Structure 1
Amino acid sequence: MAFAHFAFAQNSIAIRGSANPRAPISIAGKKSMIAGTENGIFEAWIFPYQICHGFQLFYQNKEAVIPIPLAGLAQNIEVRPEATTITFSHPLFTISETIFAPVDLPALVALLEVDSHQDLTLIASFFPDMEPMWPAGLGGQYAFWDDKNKAYVISESRRLRNAFIGTPNARPLSAPLAHELNQSPNQFAFDCKRHDGRTQTFPIVITADFAKRDSARALYEKLLAGYAEQLEKTRRCYQRVREEFLSIETPEEKINLAFEWAKVALSKGFINNPDLGAGMVAGFGPSGASQRPGFGWFFGGDCFINSFAMVGYGDFTTVRESFRFLQKRQRDDGKMMHELTQAAALIEWFKDFPYGYIHGDTTPYYLVAFWNYLLASGDVDFLRESWPSLKKAYTWSRSTDTDGDGLMENTKAGLGASELGSLREASGVDIFLGSVGVQAWKAMSEMANWMGEKKTAEEAARWHQTGLAALEKKFWNNEKQIYNFSITQQGHANPEVTAWDAFPMTLRQLDEAHTQIMLERLASSEISTDWGSRMLSNKSGAYEPLAYNNGAVWPFLTGYNLWALFNYGRSTAGLQMLRNMAEWTFVDARGYMPEVVSGEYFRPLDTSVPHQLFSSFGYAVGVIRGLLGLEMRSAVGQLAGSPVLRFTPHFPPNWEDVRIRNIRVGKSVFDLHYERNLGGITLKVTRAEGPMCTIEFAPQLEAGADVEQTASLSLKTEKNAKLQLSVFEGTWIELPREPLQIGQRSQQLRLLSERLEEDRFVFVCEGVGGRSYDMIFHSPNEVTSVSGGELLSSENADIIRLQFTGVAGEYERREVAVKVEK
């Protein structure tokens, strides 16, 4: 039985390409997910159970004596937020398989559109499971064929947990055992009659219920009749994410598209577990034999980290409800939960397993993330509701500072920047835990001030100042001119260079001069690859490019690095890193970003989770807080008066037109339109809804750019407003842009620093030995000479060629000075 064909809605952010049988796919809704590969083989989960694994399709026609896997015919793929379509191509037929997770149903659907020149039989094959998520277990699973519903039923001894997998007019090819699962796959077949030029649709539906078999059956029947409606509902859900929250339109389409997908990736992390409720998980990926689908369970720290991106693009509701979920699991002494399996209702998770509260940074990050949420949203009702929880979290966090220096200690709090390996060993306090604790004291001071608790506010403010001083004094290593990674339990410095230094830089906690020194290290090949930031310097004796905490590249840490580079005016290096990071959206699990990547080659680790939320956070926050320089301060954040939106864009001078839509500050929503031409910069502000707001506009311009007015201006918007700045062009460089390819080593030119000295523009860079690079030099004045490079003048621009003659494949540093006429 074929169903009537219907046209799938077009999606403007769809990603299309040739199918790669090794590349992962991620398809997730609020109650279910699929993890598989682009050849159509997948495992299916309806939270918190794995329903089956090894699902794939076979075909058989008169030319095929035995069933042949469709996986070998995967030709093209189209990934949309609501669904993924894989097209299988054969000389006698074309089959498109569209897989989606209904956004709020415990179900999964595969729609097969078949166009065949001859009669064709399709066979669905899978291994049934009905296994709960790690570390819970269940016995007595079995499966049987329900001929009335043309579906296999997977159940267990008590018959409470039931799943249906089938399609109308199917016939069973397997004979399941009575009281246990087969070691061979379950299979069912259905026939597709020849229909030249006409496409037929065959739905395969997977549903489950974990209380009643009849409920699973009813949903199965309902979805067979209404799958088109559910697909459209799912499409509209993600369309709202695109249209209601912040979006950007820059001259670079990949930057725009990657940002839209970062929003999708993060929004998919808010799931609804039938036993535990709704909250944020950390990521999705295949479980293999582990029963752990990526990081598809609840993580407190990941939620608080990701909230900075989600608050930035305006999804206040999801952030608030995610915080509520975690508040319910706060320990009596105030410590916040680190992780919670989705199968926690089946076991004594917090009693029998050590992972629930193992991290120390989660609790102070809760205070920091809550304050950030409050600043942007103005949600004072939630502050009042949460105040007892916040006070407990503050009290616990302060209790982990035993020597009164204002820094939390790993020995009392728990894990921080490193979970394993040499960086973790002997840490008394690492720079991340110390920094987030210091920021937590500031957050608590501000929130207590608003709540009218003056004594707490003053105490927390004092601890903030004490902690700031200790952070700089204890972590700056004057001899090595670096920030130490940690202070050991014996009080000694651990002088490893890590990407974690960027975190306090995003908060402007460190000395300005020392920060600039370290940013040069972070931008160099020592930490930065073409695809992101290594956690540990490749010059360290502990460096290992595949080690989780000792050398692999983390996109989420890259986000902090990006933010810090833009924060301190290193826009050229920041933009290069942002462009490179955007590429992850299109090369692995399309639309999503991997958890962790090799420190030596542009390729995810085999153990990497392909859809990791905090990786998408890294890109999104790099756009919002870095490239755009947006900071929202609601009326609560100002403590009085109107909301303030600070807009500090770091755009290259040749970006003539940038539009930013749906910026949310409290209850106000704004659009910004930035234009730059020879006459200067124009900013147009449109207020779509909500009260008036002060816009502070402080564009970060290239070296030597002359601005007639002050660069930081304020204006009160009524409905529309316009601001103009007269700007005379300064001096800047465009780095050569090179595409990234899976498997390659770092090759790109790195810009470490730049400065303008009267009639000279001086920059320090790194290039690979045996290579040359051509960069474009822009200046309002004529170039007279170049030291460290060769001037290649062209009609429209000055080209500077840098030739590196050192050891082939190794980076070398060079200072280049370009002299111009005064």
Structure 2
Amino acid sequence: MYESRWTVNAGRVLLLVGMVTNLAANLLFARGQQPASSSRTEAILVLDTETFAPHRFIAVHGRRSLIQGYVSEGMEVWAYPFQILSGYSVAFRPQGSTAAINGKDLLSRVTYKPESVTCTYLGPDFIVRETLFVPLDHPGAILSYSVEGAKSIDIEVRAIPVMNLMWPAGVGGQSYAWNSSLSAFVLSEPENRYSATVGSPDIVAHDNPSNSAIHDASQAGIGLTLRPGHSGIARLFITLNSPHADSGSLFNQLIRDRESLEAEAATHFREVTERDLRIETPDSEANKAIAWAEIAIDQAWVCNLDLGCGYVAGYGATRGTRRPQYEWFFAGDGMVAAQGAMSAGDLAQARAELEFILRYQDRKTGMIWHELSQSAHFIDWGGKYPYMFVHVDVTFQFLGTLASYVDASGDSGFANQHWDEIEAAYRYCRSVIDPATALPRIPADKEGGNEQDRMSDDLGLSTSWVTASTAFAHLATITGHNSLAAEASKASGRARNSIGSRYWSSETSFWISGHDLSGKDMAEQRSGPGEALSLHLFGPEQTSVVLDQLASNSFQTDWGTRGIGAGSAGFDPDSYAKGSVWPVGTAALAETFWSEHRPVSGLSLWMTLLPLGSLDSPGHMPEVLAGNFYRPQIESVPEQTWSSAGFLDATVHGLLGLQVDSINNHLSFAPRLPANWANVSLRNIGVSHNSIAIELHRKANGLKLTIENPGAPFKFDFTPDIPLGATIGQAVFNHRPIAVRVENFPQQTEARIALDAPHGQSEIEVEWRGGVSIVPERPRPLLGDPDTGIRLVSFQLQRNILTLIADVPSDRNSHVGLQTGWTIASVQGVVAQTLEDSAIDLTFAASPAGSGPYRRARATVEFKP
């Protein structure tokens, strides 16, 4: 899934007056900055940076407009589909001074909220707080400047007027003029259809546009001076005006309604956190990452008056000719975002995204589109440009996503309403199936998920066919198309039977990612698609071998999973797609490990994602990281929607094991929590129009689960992890004994309970005896760090002996934790230290004489019977 788009897509030392700081740029989450009355929501969603990092990305998002960029390079303002300004910068001139101080030299702190960003500038004897805000549903922006100091401070603004369409469309002949009645610059284009307004009642001076033959390059663009009044605040208002509309209409509305617009945006994001799935854990970093993932998905929802509303792929500064990264529509990215919205419980938005995707389906072929620029309305996007219908894999992905929505929502009416489009998409998928293999081939004029290599077929696409045909069969059954359901089920079965032999290399004991145009095996060893393992498309032994390799240091880093293993043909850790680390791929592989009963590996990968929300744009996860050092890859977009969505998916479906089937009124909860988490609670779980809450409390030898069900009874499966090798003592449901089935796997022991959850409050209590839990080391890399963490490749408990296989760094000690009430009899290959609360630390000693940065280590721990 994370390879469905491979398009090519950040030094600044800030001088604080009187001091120079070289402190590392670390994210401080709302450290004591909230007012005394702050709620839990405010504490989680207010993020602060101090000692501002080089190229720290800033973005403020609305449905129809955006402020974004890097202060060092100047901010940009968009009102879709137009870029209004670029190079926006500020300087501050104290009263009586002949020189202004550049704002970027004074910037010392940035405070992020979902609805606004505040930049704090520290001058010699003054402080200016610049708050960037865009209304939720209006094409405009408001920039406020609050000044504190002994002297009056003027704010000098410079910007480049653009007033042009997003790539690739464009208009020419733009001009700008001063409108004294509005106290604003009006930007326009020759046909006078579109215009933008930039101004304020607080402007005391401005440039006068002239037609002079001589221009001062340092004074390019437009300039204006704001002077705060008695309130100490000055504001600048920017609007994109409707076609042929008065240039002052929306401008005056923003001035008049500013307070209500700010309140509306703040209320919206507060409601998002109260409405969506609410997860609380003992880990504050995890709580922030989860809450901000939900916010990031909501912020990606964009409305274009000509095209409609949908998820954009991300946010990043404009590159080239008005091509921001990635503030336009990709159906594949949108479906990952829709899956994230479903995980958050925002089914209405997921449905709206599917509607948006269907709106532009190819009516002739049934193919789902790949890419849609926000300026597509102005050009022949689908005819003269080669981007819209290029990726064959997106149509396969669509069927699986739509089936997920129907199951989660119970909205079978959606499938009935769009049955013709659904069947057309299925027919398109069938049209590229090779009868000889029962698997898809990539047409000569199309691409699969990998844009870097020309391929005739690939494992990811073939796996997607198994998923798509199964999903279509399910949808056909729900909607009463039984013959089509039978046909699709047979197709899925034939594909399943074909994949194992076609995509397995006995020479490398690893899967084959695909075949080139001549039919030759691709030599690269790729880390996906993990879904091929979750679907059991290979044999048990093959699956185990691949999972061991994927858990090794060849693929794993302290910040996620490499797309291509180190040492593999084609590996390049600095590249965009051949050895770099994609958070969405890390999240997907974590889900695979959890589904294949390797919860420690799943947890280890999930933990690498937690720090990413502080790497560049606070609260948001980047597109891609380098494969050798902890840093964004040079082409990476700072706010990538599917990175946040993938993390949320992995949290909900992997870590928590939460699955909602509203079609069958069924909820599954299979938590695979860290052994040191004593509790977790979930609110707003939507099951068949009911809102369910569950709360789990754990102790050394048992757990208690409380279920709050305000509606009708539902089917409930509870499958918690218990310590490896533990046995069940007793289990009760509402104080009555209940049956528990224990299942043992090499790396997991789980207890299975199935029941009907009645109306009201219910309780499940389970007690166990013995067992051991593995506690993986949590990575905390700093920018520029190489990979130094331990990689637990595999382990198993046979009777009373625990065997661990790990890749450990040669130049330092490495640690694995155990949590157990058992007593150690002996160890080999490690040093064991007993700590408090039944904790044990296992140390793998450094071995500097090793031949490489990592070595394979084996350890055994024997417990007293």
Q: What band does the TM-score fall into relative to the shorter chain?
A: over 0.9
Alignment partners' CA distance in 1, 2:513 and 2:187: 51
Structure 1 counterpart of 2:808, which letter?
G
Q: Is the 8 A contact 1:263 1:620 kept in 2?
A: yes
Name 2:179's counterpart in structure 1: 146
1:71 is the counterpart of 2:104: yes
CA positional deviation for 1:738: 4.0
3-state SS in 2 of match to 1:499 = coil
Name 1:633's counterpart in structure 2: 661
With over 3 angstroms needed to count, the CA separation of the structure-2 counterparts of 1:256 and 1:413, relative to structure 1, is: farther
Alignment partners' CA distance in 2, 1:98 and 1:692: 49
Q: Give the root-mean-square deviation of aligned CA atoms.
A: 2.1
With over 3 angstroms needed to count, the CA separation of the structure-2 counterparts of 1:656 and 1:793, relative to structure 1, is: closer
CA positional deviation for 1:778: 2.6
Name 2:796's counterpart in structure 1: 755
Alignment partners' CA distance in 2, 1:445 and 1:436: 14
Determine which of 538, 545, 551 is the counterpart of 1:523.
551
Q: Is the 8 A contact 2:682 2:693 kept in 1?
A: yes
Determine which of 150, 158, 161 is the counterpart of 2:191.
158
Determine which of 119, 122, 125 is the counterpart of 1:92.
125
Q: Is the 8 A contact 2:442 2:456 kept in 1?
A: yes
Name 1:821's counterpart in structure 2: 864
**CA-to-aligned-CA distance 1:196-231 (integer Å, 9 cap, x gap):** xxx6222211111240241x4211111112212111
| 357-366 or 663-672, larger mean C-alpha shift | 663-672
Q: Is the 8 A contact 2:412 2:478 kept in 1?
A: no
3-state SS in 2 of match to 1:294 = coil
1:699 is the counterpart of 2:720: yes
Structure 1 counterpart of 2:370, which letter?
H
Alignment partners' CA distance in 1, 2:96 and 2:504: 73
Q: Is the 8 A contact 2:473 2:488 kept in 1?
A: yes
With over 3 angstroms needed to count, the CA separation of the structure-2 counterparts of 1:237 and 1:509, relative to structure 1, is: farther
CA positional deviation for 1:799: 2.2
Q: Is the 8 A contact 2:668 2:717 kept in 1?
A: yes
3-state SS in 2 of match to 1:614 = helix
Structure 2 counterpart of 1:98, which letter?
T
3-state SS in 2 of match to 1:96 = strand
Name 1:364's counterpart in structure 2: 396
CA positional deviation for 1:691: 3.6
Name 1:775's counterpart in structure 2: 816
Structure 2 counterpart of 1:84, which letter?
V
CA positional deviation for 1:577: 1.9
**CA-to-aligned-CA distance 1:279-317 (integer Å, 9 cap, x gap):** 121111111333111111111111122222211221111
With over 3 angstroms needed to count, the CA separation of the structure-2 counterparts of 1:257 and 1:506, relative to structure 1, is: farther
Alignment partners' CA distance in 2, 1:667 and 1:746: 46
Alignment partners' CA distance in 2, 1:125 and 1:288: 20
3-state SS in 1 of match to 2:207 = coil
| 1:316-715 alignment runs, 5 A limit | 316-331=347-362, 332-411=364-443, 414-420=446-452, 424-425=453-454, 427-635=455-663, 638=664, 643-688=665-710, 690-708=711-729, 709-710=740-741, 711-715=751-755
Name 2:11's counterpart in structure 1: none
With over 3 angstroms needed to count, the CA separation of the structure-2 counterparts of 1:483 and 1:60, relative to structure 1, is: same
For structure 1, which runs of at least 5 residues remain unmatched after alignment? 1-6
1:728 is the counterpart of 2:769: yes
Alignment partners' CA distance in 2, 1:614 and 1:101: 23
Determine which of 286, 298, 303 is the counterpart of 1:255.
286
CA positional deviation for 1:62: 4.6
Alignment partners' CA distance in 2, 1:510 and 1:343: 45
Structure 2 counterpart of 1:105, which letter?
H
3-state SS in 2 of match to 1:654 = coil
With over 3 angstroms needed to count, the CA separation of the structure-2 counterparts of 1:815 and 1:161, relative to structure 1, is: same
**CA-to-aligned-CA distance 1:250-288 (integer Å, 9 cap, x gap):** 111111110111111111111110111111211111113
| 1:776-791 alignment runs, 5 A limit | 776-791=817-832
| 1:163-242 alignment runs, 5 A limit | 163-177=196-210, 184-192=220-228, 200-214=232-246, 216-242=247-273
Q: Is the 8 A contact 2:706 2:761 kept in 1?
A: yes
Alignment partners' CA distance in 2, 1:81 and 1:417: 32
CA positional deviation for 1:178: 5.6
Structure 1 counterpart of 2:677, which letter?
W
For structure 2, which runs of at least 5 residues remain unmatched after alignment? 1-34, 730-739, 742-750
CA positional deviation for 1:391: 0.1
Deviant stretches of 4+, over 6 Å: 7-10, 179-183
- Between the aligned residues of both structures, percent identity stands at 26
Q: Is the 8 A contact 1:378 1:634 kept in 2?
A: yes
3-state SS in 2 of match to 1:501 = coil
CA positional deviation for 1:152: 1.2
With over 3 angstroms needed to count, the CA separation of the structure-2 counterparts of 1:795 and 1:9, relative to structure 1, is: closer
Alignment partners' CA distance in 2, 1:634 and 1:350: 37
**CA-to-aligned-CA distance 1:667-715 (integer Å, 9 cap, x gap):** 1221111111134121111124x54311100112331122243222222
| 1:64-143 alignment runs, 5 A limit | 64-143=97-176
Name 1:4's counterpart in structure 2: none
CA positional deviation for 1:750: 1.3
CA positional deviation for 1:454: 1.3
With over 3 angstroms needed to count, the CA separation of the structure-2 counterparts of 1:176 and 1:728, relative to structure 1, is: farther
Q: Is the 8 A contact 1:360 1:413 kept in 2?
A: no
CA positional deviation for 1:725: 1.6
Q: Is the 8 A contact 2:807 2:855 kept in 1?
A: yes
Name 2:6's counterpart in structure 1: none
The alignment covers a number of residue pairs equal to: 800
Name 2:783's counterpart in structure 1: 742
With over 3 angstroms needed to count, the CA separation of the structure-2 counterparts of 1:345 and 1:667, relative to structure 1, is: same
**CA-to-aligned-CA distance 1:347-382 (integer Å, 9 cap, x gap):** 100101111011111001110000000000011221
Structure 2 counterpart of 1:435, which letter?
T
CA positional deviation for 1:571: 1.8
Name 1:15's counterpart in structure 2: 47
Structure 2 counterpart of 1:454, which letter?
N
Alignment partners' CA distance in 2, 1:674 and 1:544: 44
3-state SS in 2 of match to 1:616 = helix
Alignment partners' CA distance in 1, 2:320 and 2:630: 27
Alignment partners' CA distance in 2, 1:150 and 1:739: 51
Q: Is the 8 A contact 2:552 2:807 kept in 1?
A: yes
**CA-to-aligned-CA distance 1:628-673 (integer Å, 9 cap, x gap):** 01111112xx3xxxx1011111013332111011111231221111
TM-score, length-scaled by structure 2: 0.89
| 377-386 or 399-408, larger mean C-alpha shift | 399-408
Alignment partners' CA distance in 1, 2:594 and 2:505: 24
With over 3 angstroms needed to count, the CA separation of the structure-2 counterparts of 1:804 and 1:267, relative to structure 1, is: same
Name 1:3's counterpart in structure 2: none
3-state SS in 2 of match to 1:741 = coil
3-state SS in 1 of match to 2:108 = strand
With over 3 angstroms needed to count, the CA separation of the structure-2 counterparts of 1:238 and 1:518, relative to structure 1, is: same
3-state SS in 2 of match to 1:410 = coil
CA positional deviation for 1:504: 2.3
| 18-27 or 245-254, larger mean C-alpha shift | 18-27
Q: Is the 8 A contact 2:73 2:87 kept in 1?
A: no
Q: Is the 8 A contact 1:667 1:691 kept in 2?
A: no
TM-score, length-scaled by structure 1: 0.94
Name 2:296's counterpart in structure 1: 265
